[in-house]
Amino acid sequence: MLQTNRSPHAADGDTHYSVALSPAELLRSVTEFIHRQRLVIVFVAALVVSLGFIYIFTTPPSYTADAQMIIDTRKVQLFQNQSVFGDVAIDSATVDSQIEILKSENIALSVIKDLRLTEDPEFTGQGFGLVGAIFDGIGYIVDFFGSHEPPSQFSLERKAVAAFAKRLTIKRIGLTYVMNISFRSLNAQKAAQIANAVADAYITDQLEAKYQATRRASIWLQDRLRELRAQASAAEEAVIRYKAQHNIVDTGGRLTTEQQLAEVNSQIVQARAATAEAKARLERIEEIVRMEIPDATVADTLKNDVITRLRQQYLDYAAKEADWSARYGRDHLAAVNLRNQMREIRRSIVDELRRIAETYKSDYEIAKVREESIQKSMNEVVAQSQSTNQAQLTLRDLESTAQTYRALHDNFLQRYMESVQQQSFPITEARLISAASRPLEKSHPKTLLVLALAGIGGIVLGTGIGYLRDISDRVFRTAAQVEALLGVDVIAILPKLASAARDPSGAATETRLAGDLAQERTIGGRTGILRYAADEPFSRFAEAIRSIKVSVDLNSDTKQGKVVGITSALPNEGKSTVAANFAQLVALGGGKVVLVDCDLRNPSLSRAITPNTTSGLLEVLTGAMPPDRALWTDTTTNLKFFPNVAKGRLAHTSDVLSSDAMRNFFDLLRQRFDYVIVDLPPLSPIVDVRSSAHLVDAFVLVIEWGETKIDVVQHALNVARPVYDKLLGTVLNKADMNSFGRYQGYSGKYYHNRYYARYGYVD
């Protein structure tokens, strides 16, 4: 597997990555999560369902009875203006208020007292079912250590009220004025009885409330009526006294002076009209007399017989004179005589008109005298009216006050009569439209609903616990985690070996010195975990080790020399095991391989392979021993091994690894061997690996599957930049292949044993 192109900051602890998932990928991710946490989900769901079954079997059945009540907006109007305070429109807020009244303690106490529920254990005990039994047991324990006095009536009522409120449910049906009253009890008949009792108690409470309100209003109105009656009488007496003091008399609701003034005013208007009419007739008649117009007409001439007769004669003579003048000429004696007679008649008419004019003049003088008399009377009345104006204003104020008090008295009297009528016959808007009947089936617990909720709740709870386990599982479990969080490839996944293979006794090696000191040291052929890949070449473990060799061979940085350092973030992650098996597997392939134990402080690999050696790498570096004398050979694989012997605590091992002697030693190894496998110390505890970065061509980081914390590895690589820059890849060691598929997702299927069995690989 080739090395991944990675960012230099991929190992930082603040690395974030976000990938937009397609619907198919999202579904696969959810499926993988469910598959991974299925045991937790199933266990929690089964536990919750079991609790549901326990609840169902331990809870006694209860029954719910329903009664329906309506607030009728069509009020019965037995009396006009029935309500003392006015009718209030019923809206949603009013209905909600009535629901709260139904839930009130006043209604509950009324029902409890009527039905004597304080004597019923259902209402005075702690509860029923498993939960009730637990509370009852706690109550008995408290009573045993406390006082043994029987509970008081007050405490029984409080318990009954609390139990009553829990079992009572009031709700509005839709947007209507109908309220549903539900009550739950262990006895079906009792549930119906209490539901109906609640409705009756509410109606009785409403009637009593209206009666008390009407009664209080009647008492208040009665007191107010006394006050208003006294105030109205006092105001009317003040009006009478004031009229007497100022001689103010009224008739028909009007003052005498006002009536006289109106009458005189009407008379003077008529008198002025008569005077004007008489003057007009006089002027007209005088004009006719002055101009001596005999045929002029006024109203009285038409009624005067003398003038009518004279005018008729005058007209006859005029007709004859015109006829004779036409026949005999104007100077004829007969015509002249007719004209003389006509002149006499005209003079008579004018004289008669002068007599009529004198009559008109007399009428005019009389009208003037009458007008002046009426005007004088009017002046006297006006003077009298002006003298009483100030008194009249005060009188009107007194009369207005008296009328106001009288109107208030009459209004309150009417209200008082209405309140007295309502007090004797109160009316409520609520009425029961559907009485509760005994239910035939239990309402609680609902078996199917409880089991369904328990199942759904268990699945949800199990999923939540599984999700918490997922997000709190801050260890490496998949190759995708390593690639995303560290930016490097996983070049091998090593399965967890059986307990026998991990037995240290089986991994012991045998050493012997052949002849003198010049002879070569050899390693025996005992099997163990350090030789597992060589002893079991057809195992999945050996195949995973081969993938490390492929990655090393394909890496461009290790084409020459191939110095490969094996390290880990923490101790006991299996880096020495990986290094030993990798070196032996490459040696079995015919390559010239040397395995070097560079863990100068804790040479666990040397203690396992060459436990009896007394010299090694440090002696070579100091010149106390030539390299060939410190070199050990595995007779089975022809693997060369440079052990390390820690004869004391070394404080400056990093200086040893970065020394020129170490550089020269590795240059010698590059010349003599094809592969140099270096077992290095872990990254986190000490700095030796960073000091050896210049010696190694590529590093392989061993991570223990399911144990190594992500933050630890990120921190270790972040502080060791030279190591990270040469990091070939990582190895997930000690992987539980049975559980690996749950975390690896779809790619985990490729690790099934049946695929490896086809090629002879077995574990």
**Predicted pLDDT of residue 47:** 93
pLDDT at residue 128 above 70? Answer: no
Which of 147-151, 396-400, 750-754 is most confident? 396-400
What global pTM score does this model have?
0.53
Q: Are residues 190 and 118 in the same domain?
A: yes
CATH number for the domain that contains residue 137: 3.30.70.1130
Token look-up 């095991």 returns 577
Rounded to an integer, the average pLDDT of 132-140 is 57
Beta strand extents in 349-388 (DSSP E only):
none
Torsion of CA 588, 593, 594, 599, to 10 degrees: -80
- What does the pLDDT read at residue 180? 92
Q: Are residues 700 and 726 in the same domain?
A: yes
CATH number for 713: 3.40.50.300
Together in a domain, 651 and 559: yes
pLDDT tens digits, one per residue of 572-601: 888 889 999 988 889 888 888 999 998 888
Q: Report if residue 658 sits inside a domain.
A: yes
pLDDT single digits (tens) 715-739: 888 888 888 888 889 998 888 777 7
Whether 468 and 532 share a structural domain:
no
pLDDT band at 82 (very low <50, low <70, confident <90, very high): very low
573 and 530 both lie in a single domain: yes
Report pLDDT for 16.
44
Residue 35 in domain: yes
CA 52, 56, 61: angle at the middle one, nearest 5? Answer: 150
- For the chain, give the percent of residues with pLDDT over 70: 77
| pLDDT at position 677 | 92
Domain of 350? 254-387
Confidence of residue 370 (pLDDT cuts 50, 70, 90): confident
In a domain, 337, yes or no: yes
Instruction: Tell whether 162 and 270 lie within a shared domain.
Output: no
Give the pLDDT band (50/70/90) at residue 472.
confident
Confidence (pLDDT) at 702: 92
Q: How many domains does the chain have?
A: 4
Mean model confidence pLDDT for the chain: 77
Confidence of residue 502 (pLDDT cuts 50, 70, 90): very low
Kindly give, in sequence order, each residue whose CB lies less than 8 Å from that of residue 443, ignoring residues fewer than 6 positions away: 62, 63, 64, 184
The closest alpha carbon to 420, from 75, 77, 79, 76, belongs to 79
- Is cis: bond before 445, omega within 30 of 0? yes
**Do 594 and 517 share a domain, yes or no?**
yes
Bridge partners, 171 (sequence order)? 180
Six-digit token string for 91: 């809206």
Asked whether residue 408 is assigned to any structural domain, the reply reads no
Quote the pLDDT of residue 86: 47
Mean pLDDT of 304-314: 74
Residues 548 and 665 grouped into a single domain:
yes
Give pLDDT tens digits for 551-563.
Answer: 888 876 555 558 9
Which among 325-329, 497-501, 638-642 has the top mean pLDDT?
A: 638-642
Strands 63-71 and 521-523, sheet pairing: unpaired
Q: How many CB atoms lie within 10 A of CB 741?
A: 19
Q: Tell me the sheet residues that pair with 269.
A: none
Specify if 233 maps to a domain: no
735 domain-assigned:
yes
Q: Is residue 82 part of a domain?
A: yes
The more confidently predicted of residues 650 and 268 is 268
Q: Do 503 and 453 fall into the same domain?
A: no
**pLDDT, position 493:** 87
Tell me the mean pLDDT in the region 128-149. Answer: 56
Per residue in 600-656, pLDDT tens?
888 888 888 888 888 888 888 888 888 888 889 888 888 899 998 877 667 678 888
Residue 755 has pLDDT above 80, yes or no: no
What is the spatial distance between Cα 360 and Cα 365, in angstroms, rounded to a whole number?
9
Query: Is residue 617 domain-shared with residue 735, that is, in the same domain?
Result: yes
Confirm whether 505 is domain-assigned: yes
Tokens 């609680």 correspond to 444
Both 718 and 698 in a single domain?
Answer: yes
For residues 37 and 183, membership in a common domain is answered with no
In whole angstroms, give the CA distance from residue 746 to residue 576: 31
What pLDDT does residue 564 have?
A: 92
- Per-residue confidence (pLDDT) for residue 89, from 0 to 100: 55
Q: How far apart are CA 441 and CA 457, in angstroms?
A: 26
Scanning the structure block, which residue is given the tokens 């329903």? 66
